[in-house]
Amino acid sequence: MEYKVIPFVASINPSNGTSNHVADQLQELIDNQAVQGWEYIRLESVSTYVQPTAGCFGFGATQGYTTQRQMVVFTRK
């Protein structure tokens, strides 16, 4: 059995975007993968730590932070 994991980031217009637009984007991704023989399993949330940067002599330094990424998991036999 094979597995495939694809990042999923929905993009909507802040003035008129709805959860239906997000669902449509996810549905399109699932449909496109199904055509290639992949079966949708689930949407996973993955915590990611982004390392801090030192900058140049301390200028432009950024702190590290944790963020969430959505991953779509597929399988095929």
Average pLDDT over residues 9-25: 91
Q: Give CA–CA dist 58/21, Å, rounded.
A: 42
- Is the model more confident about 13 or about 3? 3
Q: Which residues pair with 26 in a beta bridge?
A: none
* 3-class SS of residue 55: coil
Tell me the residue ranges of DSSP E strands in 1-77: 2-8, 39-50, 65-76
Supply the pLDDT for residue 27: 98
Supply the pLDDT for residue 38: 98
Report the predicted TM-score, pTM, of the whole model to 2 decimal places. Answer: 0.79
Supply the pLDDT for residue 16: 87
Supply the pLDDT for residue 59: 84
